[in-house]
Chain A
Amino acid sequence: MHELSLVSSIVETVTETLAGLPEPSRGARVLEVRLRVGALASVVPDSLTFCYDIATEGTPLEGSRLVVNVLPVVVHCERCAEDATLDGVQSFRCPRCGELCGEIRQGRELEIESFEIDEDKVEETA
C-alpha cells in the first residue's frame, strides 16, 4: 500500500504547479484533480481517494475531488498487426486471435492528467 505516498506526490506536484502559474490562477483553489491510472499500475483507486482527503488538508487542494480514470491494458498483437484492448489483466492474449502478446501499449500509466481551479476563490493574504 503506497497510495498515501502517491497522493502526497500528487499534492506536491499540483501545489508547485499552481504556485508557478500567472495571476489570477496562482493561489486559486483547486476543485478537481484528474488522474490517468493504467490497469497495470498496481494502484487501487479507492485507496487513492481514501487517502486524498487526509493528504490535501491544509493545502490549496483541500475540499477538491479526485477523479481516477482507469485505463484498460492495450497490447499489440503481432499476428493481427493491430492493437487490442484487454478485458482484464489475467491473460495477455489477443481477444481476436488468441495469440499471447508481450508488447504493452497502454496500462502502466500513473499520471496527473489535469486539474481544475476556481480563480474567483483566491485566498487573500494579509
Chain B
Amino acid sequence: MTTRIVELRRGILKKNDELAAGLRQSYTAAGVLVLNLVSSPGAGKTAFLEWTLRELKARGSRVAALVGDLETDNDARRLAASGAPVRQINTHGICHLDAEMIGKHLDGWEGVALSGLDYLFIENVGNLVCPSSYDLGEKIRVALLSVTEGEDKPLKYPTMFNSADAAVITKMDIAGPCDFNLDLALRNINEIRPGIRIFETSAKTGAGMEEWLGYLAGQRAGRG
C-alpha cells in the first residue's frame, strides 16, 4: 500500500462563499444596503418586515424584498401589500437560502435593478441553525427573537446569534402575558454576541420601530 496525504485546506462552502463575495461586490457597486433576516419559524419576521417595508416606502426609500420559504408564496403576497417589489424563493425542502438562489432570483427579477434600490431585505427560511452557515453577501445579518420563544433562545442557538450583526426582539406588545423577562433575554444575547445592537420592537404597536429605522438609515449612510 502506497499512501499519500493530499493537503487541501479548502472551505467546504467555498462555492457559496465565492458567489456571496460576488453578490457583495454588486450590492456595494449598486449602493444598496442588503439585510438578511433570520429567526425560528413564527418569530415574526414577516410582520416585522411588512412594517419596515411600508414605513420605508412611505418615507421615500426604494425598497424590495426576497423571501424564502420551503413552500407557498403566502409571505410574498403579505409583503407585496406594502407596495414594494417582492419575490418569493421556494426552496422545496432546503432549510436555508444560499448565494446561488439569491443570484438567480435577482437576475430574472422583472422591473427591479439593484441600482434602483436603497434597501434590499432577504427574509430567510425560518430556521435558527442552517442559515448561519450561508453567506448571502449581506451587510447586516439580523437575528429575530420573539417574546413567546423564551429568553434562553440565544443560548440554545448560539451559532446563529453569534453570527448576527443586530438582534431584534419581536412581539413586545405581548411580553407581559408571556412572562417574558426582558433583562434576562438582553443578558443572554449579550453573552453570546457581546456588544451587539438590540432592538425591542412590536410590529403591532410600532414600539421600537423608529429606533430600528434610524439604525437602517445610519447603516445606509455608512455610520455605526
Q: Is the interface of B mostly helix, strand, loop or mixed?
A: mixed
Q: Which residues on B sit within 8 Å (CB–CB) of A21?
A: 6
The contact size tier of chain B is 20 to 34
The contact size tier of chain A is 35 or more
Q: Most A CB atoms within 10 A — which of B158, B160, B190, B195? A: B158
Q: Is B1 an interface residue (CB 8 A)?
A: yes
Task: Offer 14 A-B interface pairs, CB within 8 angstroms, sorted by A.
Answer: A1-B129, A2-B130, A13-B14, A25-B4, A25-B6, A40-B159, A42-B132, A89-B159, A89-B192, A110-B11, A110-B12, A113-B8, A114-B9, A116-B5
A111–B12 CB distance below 8 A: yes
- Candidates B4, B8, B13, B194; contact of A92 at CB < 8 Å: B194
B7–A114 CB distance below 8 A: yes
**Which residues of A approach B to under 8 Å, CB–CB?**
1-2, 5-6, 9-10, 13-14, 17-18, 21, 25, 28, 31, 35, 40-43, 89-93, 100-102, 104, 108, 110-121
- Candidates B6, B133, B191; contact of A100 at CB < 8 Å: B191
B15–A9 CB distance below 8 A: yes
**Which residues of B approach A to under 8 Å, CB–CB?**
1-15, 94-96, 129-130, 132-133, 155, 158-160, 162-163, 190-195
Q: Which residues on B sit within 8 Å (CB–CB) of A18?
A: 6
